[in-house]
Structure formats: C-alpha cells, structure tokens
Amino acid sequence: MYKTPKNRLSVTCISISILILTSISTSAEATSRIEDIARKTTVQINSNANPGGSGVIIKKEGKTYTVLTANHVVCENLGTIKIRCRTDLTYTIRTHDGREYPVKKHQSMQVNVQDPDLAIVTFESEENYQIAPVGNSDSVKIQSDVLVAGFPSIFNRVGKQRTFTITNGKVVTFIPDSDRGYGLIYNATTFIGNSGGPVFDIDGRVIGIHGLADTDDGGDQQETGSPQQKTGFNAGIPINIFLSLSNLNLPSPPVPVTPTNPTNPNNNATVYAIAYNDRGVNRYQSGDKQGAINDFTAAINVNPNFAKSYYNRAAIRNELGDKQGAISDFTQFLTFHPYNALAYYNRGILHHELGNKQGAINDFTQVIKLNPGNIRAYYNRGATRSDLGDKQGAISDFTKVIEINPNFAEAYNNRGLARRDSGDKQGAITDFTQSINLNPRDPIAYNNRGIARDELGDKPGAISDFTQAVTINPNFAQAYNNRGLARHNLGDKPGAITDFTQAIKIIPNFAQAYNNRGLSRSDLGDKPGAISDFTQAIKIIPNFAQAYNNRGLALHSLGDKQGAVSDFTQAIKINPNFAQAYNNRGLSRSDLGDKEGAISDFKNAAVLFNRNAR
C-alpha cells in the first residue's frame, strides 16, 4: 500500500504603494509633458550612509554630465559652522534607465552653514541623457503652479529601492534672504529623499531645488533621516541663486511646453474642483475616508477632467476594500497621465489581488518601460509570473532585481523558490543561503532552504534549518510542520508528532498538519488516533483526497475493509488520476472477495503509474 506525499508550505510576498496627491489647476496635457521631462532628467543620489536624495541633470559636455542638487545630499557636514564633509562616504548617481554611475567631482556652493545649500556633482556616461531646461525663478508669482520631482523614501524603501515620483502644488510665498537660500515656499507634498530634486514651473523648466520642510513646532527641518512625510509648507532654493553663484555655461531653455489652450485658472469648474479636492485631502488626513471620497467625487462631478481626484479616490477606495472601484479610478487617471508609473504600479497590485494576474503583469511591464530602474515592478512581476507558472520569467525578473540591488534579500529568496520549482534544487539552496547571509533573522529563508535540502535528501540539514526558523519565530507553524516531515522520514516518529502537534496548536485549522500527524501515528500503531487526525483534516478541507486515502489505509489495517473502500472511492472521485487510491481500493476489494472490482482497480492503477512515470 502507498502513503501519499506530505504538504510543504513556502512564502512569497507582494506590496503596494499609494500616495495622496494635492491639487493642481494645470491641464493634463501640460502635466504629462512635464512628467516626461522630469522623469528623464531627475536622478537618484545614493550613498552608503543615509536614505538618499535626488538631483537634476542640467548640463552635458562630452561624456560628462553635471547634476545640480542640495549640498546636504552629497555632503554630510561634520557639525562645524564652516562646511566640512565626511570623507569616508561614497556617492552614486542612478539615472532614469536604471544605470548607476559613481560621482566624479563634487563642487559645494555652501562654504558656511548659512550659505545656499547647493552643490553640483558630475558623472561620466556614453549614454545620451536629456538635460533639464533652467528657468527664471524671479518670474515666478504667488499661486503659480509647480511640480516637485524626486525619489522619496516611502513605505520603507530607501537608497536604490526608491522610485520616481512627482507631486503638484502652488507657490504660497517668498522669503527673501532666507537661511541656506530656502526662499521659494510651496505646498507640494514631499518626503525624505526628495531633497536635491528639481522644482519645475508649468513650462517644464527648473525654477528651484527642493530640500527643506516646515514642521509642526514652527521650525524647519532638512530632509534627512527616517522616511516620513513632512507637514506644513516645503521650501526650495530659487534657481536664480544658483545661477548667480555658478559660472556654468548652461544651454538656453527650449520653447515652453504649455499647451496652446491651457486650462483657465479662473474657470469656475476648475476652482470648485480644486476646493473639493483639497478638502478631500484634509478629510482623509483627519481620518474621514468616506467624506474624502465624497469630496473627490464632487470634484470629478464639477470637472470630469480633474485627474488628481481620480487618483486620490482610487487610493482611498483601495483602503476601504473597493478594489474594483480603485482600478476604475486608476484607469481613468491614466487616460490623463499615461506616463505615471506609480498609477500603473498600483493598478497592477490591485489586479494581482483580484486574481487578474495577466493584467498585473501588463501593468508592471508598463512601469518598467517608463522607469527601467523600478525594482519593485520587476520584483512583483516576478512574483506574479511565478503564480502563473512562468518560472523562467520569474527567475529573469528576480535576477534583474538583484542586479539593481545586490542586497535585496527577498529577491534571492523568491528566485530560490522559482529555481526549486523548476527543478534546480542546488541553485535554490544557493539563493536561500544568500538571502540568509543578507538577513540572518529571516525565518522564511531558513524554512525554504530546509525544504530544498530535504528534497535533495539532506534531512539533517533540513532539520537544522527548520529548527533555526522556529527559533527565530516560535509561531512559524509551517516550519514545525516541515521539521515534522523530515523527522518522520528519518524514523523519529515521536519527534514528528510533537512538531505536528505544535503546528496545530499555532494554527488549529492546519489540515496538512493533521494529515501528517495521522501518518506518524499510524506508523507507530495508533490507528484510531490516525483515523481521528485524517477525519479532522477532511472536515477542514472536504476535498482533501490524500486524507481520504490515508484514512482508508488506517481503516483497512483495522479490518474495516468496506470503510476503506468507501474512503478510497471518495479520494478517486476528488482526483480521478490518483493511482495510489486505485491500487489501495483494489487491495481492499480483493480482501472482501470482489476479485473483478479489484482487477479493474489494479488495471487503472497500472495505467496511471505508467503515465506518471513517463
């Protein structure tokens, strides 16, 4: 007679990012064009110390590119009044195509702490990158529309894991002779990591460099440290301050990108839409999510082309569980902003959660086209491809993630899962080991390496890994279950029962653990206990064919041949290709004298065994 395989569990993950955007009265066409300029000229700046900042390409000479940023992004001051940068830090620049370059030169324009917080750095590349046009900050008026671009540290993503964003707002005031040059004040939402990023006017020209945020206590704070959203207004350094300090010969700006028929800021519909949208943001921030949805809906009703309210409503619909409504809103938003990678990303997450895996893959692919360095898009496309059985595609995506960020432990773990499912057990072990090296406190990686070791016959190694997993996380029921399997296969049936019992204690509806404990009890001669466990597994999962088969074996051994036939029949009904169940039913029928039925079962079993062996 045959016993069926035991179940093992592995873990993978997928994540979502949602932002609430404030309003802007510019047209969708103008904003989309500025987004394209910003996306191609804004760069990510990373070091081996802080969460990272942003910058903007302003000049190209030969293969040398010049990037303008905030000095505190590329110089960690040693705390003196006269600026002295740490010399033990290295900085890199990541461009929109995901390529990374070392900083070659750093020129600070901040001699003392109160001087303008500006710096230029250079990198070299054979690639042809777009240059951001530079505007005239003196021509900017209060209530002018601005867009702030950069790579914020949001949702625990720092350094290379950050993705490009652009937020909208209005100039609210100017502060002449301000400390560190931060005299351009606006209400666009910013996060840590935006520091050094460009502030664009509605013509797509750089009119400031972002880097300062107001705080609740009436002070201000440079955007460094732990990732968080800043409250109050935000500040940038007007570009004319840089121009007055620099001797760079910058190219003349191109023709403004504003459409020939821009939205009239005095249009009543637009004014009312802005008011509703801004009130919706305030309601959301105070916890009134349904009130916020009502306001965003009102904004859309008075101006169906007010794209930001579609985005904001989508974000809150998702939080309230209306995934389909959120997808609809993101889709509408993308008709106005076809270059918005974050909207595609979020819609992809929602498609995945609703089971539309191919739709999710399509959206993640679009994100990658718009932002080739978007590590989360590769990661989540890999996870989704794996769900659809495309293991090689998943391996390719996780490999790309690792190329972008060699320290991304979860990517090694998930590539290991795909390799194991593809039959490359040793490659899987290598990946799980690297994941453990990067994150020694990750019980999932230990669990998954234990499974791969067990499948290669290294039972002691597997037990060691499962033990480490439950040491790190004593409530890791799957690891107890898997260690029980390995112990069972090494002949330690009492130890296996202890582990299965602990798994059940943690997850009372853990059907596989009941099934597995039943097998160990059966091997120790406790047939009634085994039958009780198989019965419980069937109660939890009524279509658990293996549990029916195993209970049939136990009933047969206790002499209940008819009960055994009934269970084997149910197992076959659930799984018509269950060769072992046919074979076992044949044995029970033979013992009952039903030779003709037994012969028929043995023939079916033989056909299925031969088919499975091919």
For the chain, the structural domain boundaries read 28-215+228-245
Integer Rg of the chain from CA: 31
- Residue 195: partners with Cβ closer than 8 Å, 6 or more residues away: 53, 54, 69, 70, 72, 73, 150, 210, 211, 222, 223, 224
C-alpha pair distances (Å), 227 with each of 162, 508, 579: 11, 39, 56
Q: Sorting pLDDT into bands at 50, 70 and 90, what band is 187?
A: confident
pLDDT band at residue 268 under the 50/70/90 scheme: low
Tokens of 563: 């009960």
Query: Which residues contact residue 34 at a Cβ distance below 8 angstroms, ignoring those fewer than 6 apart?
Result: 147, 166, 200, 202, 204, 257
Spatial CA neighbour of 204 closest among 42, 327, 431: 42
Distance CA 106, CA 74 (A): 8
Task: Of 514, 520, 524, 523, give the one whose Cα is nearest residue 548.
Answer: 514
Going by pLDDT thresholds of 50, 70 and 90, the confidence category of residue 480 is very high
State residue 24's pLDDT score: 40
pLDDT at 481 over 70: yes
Tell me what percent of the residues of the chain surpass a pLDDT of 90.
Answer: 66
**How far is 283 from 230, CA to CA, in rounded Å?**
17
pLDDT of residue 502: 98
**pLDDT at residue number 250:** 65
Cα distance between residue 376 and residue 359, in whole Å: 16
More confidently predicted of 49 and 316:
316
For the segment 411-430, what is each residue's pLDDT rounded down to a tens digit? 999 999 999 999 999 999 99
DSSP-derived secondary structure letter, 412: H
For the purposes of burial, counting CB atoms within 10 Å of the CB of 258, is it exposed (0-12), middle (13-18) or buried (19 or more)?
Answer: middle
Is residue 268 within a helix (H) or strand (E), and if so which, with residue range? helix 268-285
Stretch 39-54: mean pLDDT, rounded? 89
Distance CA 290, CA 6 (A): 47
Question: H or E element: which one contains 7?
Answer: none
- pLDDT score of 251: 56
Tracing tokens 């760079």 back to the chain, one arrives at: 248
pLDDT at position 30 over 70: no
Note the pLDDT of residue 248: 67
Q: In the chain, pLDDT over 70 holds for what percent of residues?
A: 88
What does pLDDT average to over the chain?
A: 87
In this predicted model, what pLDDT tens digit does every residue of 223-258 receive, in sequence order? 444 334 444 578 999 999 888 887 766 655 443 433
Tell me: pLDDT of 89 over 90.
Answer: no
End-to-end CA distance of the chain: 22
Chain segment 350-370, per-residue pLDDT in tens = 999 999 999 999 999 999 999
Comparing 67-76, 134-143, 249-258, the range with the smallest average pLDDT is 249-258
Name the class of domain 28-215+228-245: mainly beta
Q: Which segment of 29-33, 46-50, 79-83 scores lowest on mean pLDDT? A: 29-33
Distance CA 148, CA 10 (A): 41
Give the model's pLDDT for residue 285. 79
Predicted confidence (pLDDT) per residue in 540-582, tens digit:
999 999 999 999 999 999 999 999 999 999 999 999 999 999 9
User: How much is the pLDDT for 523?
Assistant: 96
C-alpha distances (whole Å) from 391 to each of 315, 383, 384, 388, 395 are: 31, 9, 10, 8, 6
Distance in angstroms (rounded) separating the CA atoms of residues 203 and 199: 11
Q: What is the mean pLDDT of residues 403-413?
A: 94
Residue 215 has pLDDT above 60, yes or no: no
For residue 269, the model assigns a pLDDT of 79
Q: Rounded CA gap, 377 and 589, in Å?
A: 56
List the single range of 3-7, 91-95, 129-133, 492-496 with lowest mean pLDDT: 3-7
* DSSP secondary structure letter of residue 257: -
Q: Where are the beta strands (DSSP E) in 40-159?
A: 42-47, 53-61, 64-69, 91-94, 100-102, 105-108, 119-124, 145-150
